[in-house]
Structure 1
Amino acid sequence: MYEEEISRSIDEHIAKQQNLGHHKKMQLLVARENLKNDVNEVCRQQIMEKS
């Protein structure tokens, strides 16, 4: 009984960690995409100013 409880607790903890890992990956992907868009926008503005 006691071991089952510990095992379930560990499984839940691992699931939470994996979920957090996935969430962080998604945040990184979004941040990277936003940064790329910002850089493209700055480049576009500089090209517009030059011409």
Structure 2
Amino acid sequence: MHGMAAVVAEALRSIAPAVTLYVNDFNAPARATYRRVGFRDVDTFMSVMF
């Protein structure tokens, strides 16, 4: 988790105006980790498979 936070901080500082990611809504452990690093939900996407 600390490594991810450091990478995000460096990207924001040096090369990116924003850092985003996509995670499935059912992946609760990953979503909890991302929240601890500082990510937040801003939108919802739907995957369509056929």
Instruction: Please report the TM-score for the alignment, with normalisation by the length of structure 1.
Output: 0.28
Larger Rg over CA atoms: 1
